[in-house]
Chain A
Amino acid sequence: MASFVLRRAAQAVVVLLGVTFVIFALEQLAPGSPAREVLGIKATPLAIATFDKAYGLNRSFLIQYVQFLDHLVHGNLGFSWKQNRTVDSLVVAQLPRDLLLVGLSIALALVIAIPIGILQAVRRNSAFDYGATGLSFLLYSMPPYIPGLLAISLFAVRFQVLPSEAPQGASALDLLTHPAGLILPVLTLTLVSYASFSRYVRSSAIACLEQEYILTARTKGLRRSAILSRHVLRNSLCPVVTLVGLALPQILTAGLVAEYLFNFQGVGLEYYNAAVDGDFPVMVAITVLVAAATVLGSLAADVAYAALDPRVRLA
């Protein structure tokens, strides 16, 4: 097990290096320069050269990349010249909200998708199965902002029971003191995550139902509920663990859209605003963070999978 984890972790480090390299190279292609940004269009070439020298921007690409890595490793995500603040302070302020939004939505989506998926597998090709498959298919087939948009026009405009905007305010705690505003963003993201989970849970439960240990359990006279909770539920959870890790980029993208839609002050909205402003250090830092989350998510998924299913470790 330890060697498996080590091997997988080493791969993750290589991948992270590659990812940061590509993103850093992309930033170098970006138009404009921090010196122009800070000193304005009337800056003399001398002033720009002085600025570049002071911040190490005149060094070669590779040296700058190594510097960038060095900063990342030490928890320095960069400096936003446009906002005149460190990207760290920005991320630290926004991240708790995102963890709440994304964490809550993934948890809810799983809580909904797993029982429904198992029930679908048990009652395969029933009206219930077709209904649930149809719903997830429909959700899967529309751009991820549409469920949120429709939820706004239904709950916030037609019935006027929920606010159409996420709680505003400087502290992440505002989310907890005004939970009503959290409902629609979480609902939207839950629906989108549910759509990507449900078909995998269904097919994984079906594959599990066809295994011989289920037949054994049945012939032993085990009750249906016991078979479902003890055998099917546990065994069909394995692929789901991997799924959450792999679906993370998709969910974070949907999160960005949901934050934009509900004006939810999170890292995703920060990214969007940075993109509109051309605030490249912020964009680079957040892209690196999302990529790192993806790599770590898939690493965690693989380790969890290996812990759950010993056969994987041998591969």
Chain B
Amino acid sequence: MTDLARLEPIPVPDKGPEAVSVAPERSVLFTFVRTFVENRLAAMGAVLMIGIVLFCFVGPLLYHTDQVDTNLLKVNLAPGPGGPLGSDNNGFDILGRLMYGGRTSLEISFAVASVVTVMGATYGAVAGYLGGAWDVVMMRLVDIGLSMPVVFLFILVSRIYHPSKGLLILLLALTVWFVPARLIRGETLTLRTREYVAAARTMGARSSRLIFRHIVPNSAGTIIVNATFQVADAIIVLATLEFLGFSLPPPTATWGGMLSDGSQFLQDGYWWEVYPALLAIVVTVVAVNFVGDALRDAFDVRLRRR
């Protein structure tokens, strides 16, 4: 099947080759920290991410709103003294709802990214390590998964089961873990021939030790970078599904739900019901992508050696 890795945009140093410092092989953590110090976009992305997480998880402690009981006296109020961002068609305060909605959206997307990363990395590493017939069979299964139209499949399944937070996470994870699986498998194919793996094997290490102590840690770069993109993708896919009406039942708030509810009123001029939620989604996805792009450049061996 087509090799996804071939399609990764080839990273290009922004300031020309001489500006990229020639760093010796350092730990993943070191590369991680250095990226944020040196790359302005990455630093901006990280600061934005921290800001968004604080807004969603600490915000509701400081700014109390009722996001469960509808209030028909406060429907579709413009931003003003009642609420800095106005209220929606159920009378919920928009600013407060952005916080609660962000909580759900972030929880789901981070959970999806973690599950997907663990599943995909383990599967890919095992397939690449075992090689041969195992590899062929395991990767054909991944090809099958990659050919599944995610949103179409999702709609089909959500017709069969009622959506809940756990089911959404499970479904999203089950439909997208193939991408990291394929990436890590590709990485493992080169790692398993390295001297340190051979050395560990000669010392009598079992396969599980080789995979989890040597191969997986050494593909940490690829794994972390992919995890960041998974967060961004999950937010977008969730918002798309919610627009099509396959979402969590009330009173759960999510950014995607706010956006799709609000977009019904866009033509009525209730801009405050659309743009704040849109901004929240776009800023989060952009911030996550900034971090992911920078990390990919940082971990890319081709760039580091130049």
Residues of A within 8 A of B (CB): 11, 14-16, 18-19, 22-23, 26-27, 29-31, 124-125, 137-138, 140-146, 149, 153, 157, 199-200, 202-204, 206-207, 239, 242-243, 245-246, 249, 252-253, 256-257, 260, 271-272, 275-276, 278, 280, 283-284, 286-287, 290-291, 294-295, 298, 301-302, 305
Contact = CB atoms under 8 A, between A and B. Distances in A.
B281 interface: yes
A161 B141 CA distance: 49
A141 B141 contact: no
Interface stretch (B2-10, B112-120, B193-201, B210-218): B2-10
Contacts of B10: 203-204, 206-207
A19 B9 contact: no
B149 A290 contact: yes
Interface string B139-173: 01101101111111101110110000000000000
Nearest to A284: B156
Contact of A242 (B7, B12, B245): B7
B285 interface: yes
Given A275-B155, A302-B2, A143 B256 contact: yes
Output the residue of B4, B147, B282 with the most chain A CB within 10 A.
B147
A291 B148 contact: yes
A149 B266 contact: yes
Nearest to B144: A18
A30 B153 CA distance: 13
A140 B12 CA distance: 20
Chain A binding surface SS class: helix
Given A26-B156, A291-B149, A142 B243 contact: no
B181 to A, nearest CB: 15
Given A15-B144, A18-B140, A278-B159, A124 B12 contact: yes
Contact of A287 (B12, B153, B286): B153
Contacts of A272: 155, 244
Contact of A153 (B236, B256, B266): B266
Nearest to B279: A142
A151 B49 CA distance: 29
Given A15-B144, A26-B157, A246-B4, A200 B282 contact: no
A145 B282 contact: no
B56 interface: no
Contact of A125 (B9, B14, B240, B266): B14
Nearest to B137: A14
Contact of B289 (A14, A141, A298): A141
B133 interface: no
B121 interface: no
A141 B160 CA distance: 30
Contacts of B263: 145-146, 149
B278 interface: yes
B147 A141 contact: no
B266 to A, nearest CB: 6
B157 to A, nearest CB: 7
A275 B143 contact: no
A125 B12 CA distance: 11
Nearest to A134: B286
A141 B240 contact: no
B141 A143 contact: no
Contact of B150 (A29, A141, A249, A301): A249
Contacts of A243: 7
Given A252-B149, A294-B149, A295-B147, 7 more contacts: A18-B144, A138-B286, A142-B278, A143-B243, A242-B2, A253-B240, A287-B156
B21 interface: no
Contact of B147 (A138, A204, A291): A291
29 contacts: A11-B1, A15-B143, A18-B141, A22-B148, A26-B160, A27-B156, A138-B286, A140-B285, A141-B289, A142-B281, A142-B282, A143-B281, A199-B9, A203-B10, A204-B9, A206-B12, A246-B2, A249-B150, A253-B150, A253-B240, A256-B152, A256-B244, A257-B244, A272-B155, A272-B244, A283-B155, A287-B152, A298-B147, A305-B2
Contact of B6 (A202, A242, A291): A242
A283 B240 contact: no
A301 B147 CA distance: 14
Nearest to A302: B2
Contacts of B245: 276
Nearest to A15: B143
A199 B7 CA distance: 10
Closest 4 CB pairs of A and B: A18-B144, A203-B9, A143-B239, A141-B285
A245 B152 contact: no
Contacts of A153: 266-267
Output the residue of A243, A286, A290 with the most chain B CB within 10 A.
A290
A15 B240 contact: no
Contacts of A252: 149, 152
A140 B289 CA distance: 10
B188 to A, nearest CB: 18
